[in-house]
Amino acid sequence: MSSRTLTAPLQQTMTPKDGVIIRTENLWKTYDMGAVQVHALCDVSFDIERGEYVAIMGPSGSGKSTLMNLIGCLDTPTQGKYWLNGRLVSELSDDELAYIRNKEIGFVFQTFNLLSRATALHNVELPLIYSGTPAAERLERAREALRKVELGDRMHHKPNELSGGQRQRVAIARALVNEPSIILADEPTGNLDSATGDEIMNLFDRLHQAGNTIVLVTHEHDIAARAHRIIHIRDGKVARDERVK
């Protein structure tokens, strides 16, 4: 088996300027539902720079998750271009996409998406397993990530032995562990009560202060207000893009 060194093609045309991590250009996502075509995203363009703290906000069904999945390389647009760290994502192979999801992106889901049969530690180790990190280093880094989210004393618990907030913190540790360029969170507090949600948001604030780039999807104002920039989405279109801090 090959090691996971990868030489993704650097795009000569439209190479975004230094510091731009994400550039989307006229992104469309259309679902063909037989009789009707649902445009989940229409002509979405924006840049996100390194170190930004961005909230994507909009009502339910406005296309936030769709956008997030495109940014996270889980999905491909119907039309338009998307660069991540200077690479044109639409031209990458399956393996290259897997590599990017592994190394460049840390995804945090509303429903946590932890492996229920694995311990917190093993869940956090997983991205490192897929990047081929040696066992000793892997263990050390997973422990470190769990300590960062203040779960140093819950490493050997399985998800069903943890509270909702703790589960989301395990998921955040998993997103952090491979030191990705960007952390994507799709309604990370959606399944949590407000107090626990605040804790999680404090954690994101800290991660941002520590230099991480964060893109966060929410439909709640208070949550969006934590970010430094809010991109408002309505019916699949960018309605407003404002800097708040």
Partner 1 sequence: MRAYHQNFRENLRLALDTLRTHKFRSFLTILGVLIGTTTVIAVASIFAGLDRQVSDAAKDFGTNTLAIFKFTPGFHFRLSREERLRKPLTYEDAVAIKEACPSVESVAVENFLWWGPPPLLKYKGKEVVDYDLSGATAEDFRVTNTNLADGRFFTAVDDAHRRNVAVIGPDIVKRLFDHEDAIGKIIMIGSNAFEVIGTAAPRKAFPGDNSINRWVKIPYLTFKKIYPNERENFILAMAYEGRMAEAKEEISNVLRHRRHVKPAEPDSFGISSAEAFIQQFRQIIGTVVLVTVVISSIGLLVGGIGVMNIMLVSVTERTREIGVRKAIGARRRDITWQFLLEAMTLTGAGGVLGILVGAGISLLIRTLSSFPSSVPLWSVAVGFIIAVSIGLFFGLWPAMKASRLDPIVALRYE
Ligand X SMILES: Nc1ncnc2c1ncn2[C@@H]1O[C@H](COP(=O)(O)OP(=O)(O)O)[C@@H](O)[C@H]1O
Tokens matching residue 26: 């006229």
What mask, x for binding partner 1 by CB under 8 A, covers residues 131 to 160?
xxxxx-------------------------
Phi and psi based region of residue 52 (left: phi greater than 0; alpha: psi -120 to 50; beta: remaining)? beta
What does 113 bind: Mg ion, partner 1, ligand X, none (CB cut-off 5 to 8 Å by kind)?
Answer: partner 1
* Residue 58 DSSP SS3: coil
How many residues touch ligand X (CB under 6 A)? 12
Please identify which residue in 21, 27, 57, 62 interacts with ligand X, judged by CB under 6 A: 62
Please identify which residue in 99, 119, 168, 176 interacts with partner 1, judged by CB under 8 A: 99
How far apart are CB 217 and ligand X at their closest, in Å?
7
How far apart are CB 195 and partner 1 at their closest, in Å?
27
| Using rule CB under 5 A, residue 65 touches Mg ion | yes
Q: What is the largest CA-CA distance in the chain?
A: 55
CB atoms within 10 A of CB 25: 17
- Strands 20-33, 79-84: pairing kind: antiparallel
* Residue 221 DSSP SS3: helix
| Using rule CB under 8 A, residue 167 touches partner 1 | no
| CA nearest to 142, candidates 100, 104, 170, 101 | 170
Residues of this chain that bind partner 1 (CB under 8 A): 1-4, 69, 72, 74-75, 94-95, 98-99, 101-103, 107, 109, 113-115, 117, 126-127, 129-135, 174, 178
